[in-house]
Amino acid sequence: MIIQLQPDISSKQKETLIEKVNGIGYKTTEVRTQLGDYIIGIGKKEFDIRKIGQLDGIRDIHIVSDEYKLVSKKWKAKPTSVDLGDGVYIKDGEMAIITGPCSIESEEQIRKVVKHCVENGIRMMRGGVFKPRTSPYAFRGMGIDGLKLWHSIASEAGIKIVTEVMQTSQIEEMYPYVDIYQVGARNSQNFNLLDELGKVDKAVMIKRGISGTIEELLQSAEYVFSGGNEKLILCERGIRTYEKASRNTLDLNAIPILKAKSHLPVIVDPSHGIGIRSYVSQMALAGVMAGADGIIYESHEIPEKAYSDGQQTLDFAQSARLAAWIRESFAMRKGFDLL
């Protein structure tokens, strides 16, 4: 169960409430986020909801039997809008476009991508400064200095920064320079990292695990939310299956399912989802029709020269066309009476 508290609930009232909830055999966890205070009750016994609902200091109470609770649509039907400032949002009813290279490589490269974004009305840029690599001998990114450089150029142009955080010790140093912390597929169940991101007041985008279930993605989001951070975005990026003709199997089924189960915005990464440049645009548009609230894809001035992921990266001409098609498709989909 989720109990939303009044902002002015007294500690006495809260104590009484917790005693009552424990009294019916439920364990309680207190959650304080940027937007509100909650008591989460964990248990299985049936009880009369009115007996608790009538206590003082309570705004509302909801029965949510799923393993994930705060990210569920069962208590919060209204979609979450993630506000990044300067009129940039990721939310239901709008189409977020995020593009940029796999790795941040140089000042020159950053300037070119920022310019490309500005010219195409794209307000969010992706790029890695800390790179998770399966081989210890591969390029691991420009690090925090790369991020600072990027931030100085992007913020001037009004471009928001989306970049991966790989461990808790990076959260603080990255904080001034990042708009959305990305949790990568390999860290999707790094619970310590999720816990710590719950304490931050910047947006967090969680990628689905390499073989993560939809349920597990929602539970990972629950970690961040219950840690105190409601600014959450979910990202489908393809899962691992037996099929080897594509890098991953982009599971677009996940889009309508996540949108139905959760109030959080959901975006799609077609670059990792298929892994082959000439098919990225099709899959991006398929993601739009499946109901995504945004598309994140890789672009680079000269993909063949990118330090990593070049084979799935669009050049600027392709990216410009794709951005336009995404918007057209989204406008059409909004006209349909879909869920």
Site for its own copies in 148-177 (CB under 8 A): 166-169
| Residue range at the interface with its own copies (CB under 8 A); choices 5-13, 15-23, 145-153, 188-196 | 188-196
Whether 195 and 217 have beta carbons less than 8 Å apart is answered as: no
Between 78 and 242, whose beta carbon lies closer to its own copies? 242
Identify residues 318-337 at the interface with its own copies (CB under 8 A): 321, 325, 328-329, 332-333, 336-337
Can you point out the beta strands (E) in 82-123? 82-85, 88-90, 96-100
3-state secondary structure of 292: coil
CA–CA dist 308, 316 (Å, integer): 17
CA–CA dist 88, 79 (Å, integer): 16
Q: Binding of its own copies at residue 67 (CB under 8 A)?
A: yes
| Residue range at the interface with its own copies (CB under 8 A); choices 154-162, 175-183, 241-249, 293-301 | 241-249
CB of 251 to its own copies, least distance (A): 5
Per-residue CA distances from 9 to 12, 14, 50 (Å): 8, 7, 18
Half-sphere exposure in the Cβ direction for 18 (13 Å, CA)? 15
The DSSP bridge partners found for residue 98 are 124, 296
Rule CB under 8 A: choose which of 16, 24, 47, 279 binds its own copies. Answer: 279
Q: Binding of its own copies at residue 77 (CB under 8 A)?
A: no
Q: Binding of its own copies at residue 294 (CB under 8 A)?
A: no
| Residue range at the interface with its own copies (CB under 8 A); choices 17-25, 154-162, 233-241, 303-311 | 233-241
Q: Binding of its own copies at residue 283 (CB under 8 A)?
A: yes
Between 1 and 149, whose beta carbon lies closer to its own copies? 1
Surface-to-core class of residue 242, CB atoms within 10 Å of its CB (0-12 exposed, 13-18 middle, 19+ buried):
exposed
Whether 308 and 131 have beta carbons less than 8 Å apart is answered as: yes
CB of 164 to its own copies, least distance (A): 12
Per-residue CA distances from 203 to 22, 170, 268 (Å): 33, 15, 17
Rule CB under 8 A: choose which of 32, 49, 253, 334 binds its own copies. Answer: 253
Rule CB under 8 A: choose which of 37, 92, 195, 315 binds its own copies. Answer: 195
| Residue range at the interface with its own copies (CB under 8 A); choices 53-61, 72-80, 149-157, 255-263 | 255-263
Surface-to-core class of residue 172, CB atoms within 10 Å of its CB (0-12 exposed, 13-18 middle, 19+ buried):
exposed
Q: Binding of its own copies at residue 32 (CB under 8 A)?
A: no
Q: Binding of its own copies at residue 186 (CB under 8 A)?
A: yes
CA–CA dist 229, 226 (Å, integer): 7
Between 101 and 227, whose beta carbon lies closer to its own copies? 227
Angle of the 214-227 helix axis to the 254-261 helix axis, nearest 10: 40
Rule CB under 8 A: choose which of 79, 158, 256, 310 binds its own copies. Answer: 256
Q: Binding of its own copies at residue 254 (CB under 8 A)?
A: yes
Between 84 and 284, whose beta carbon lies closer to its own copies? 284
Identify residues 91-130 at the interface with its own copies (CB under 8 A): none
Between 288 and 306, whose beta carbon lies closer to its own copies? 288
Q: Binding of its own copies at residue 22 (CB under 8 A)?
A: no
Instruction: Classify the phi-psi angles of 87: left when phi > 0, otherwise alpha if psi is within -120 to 50, otherwise beta.
Output: left
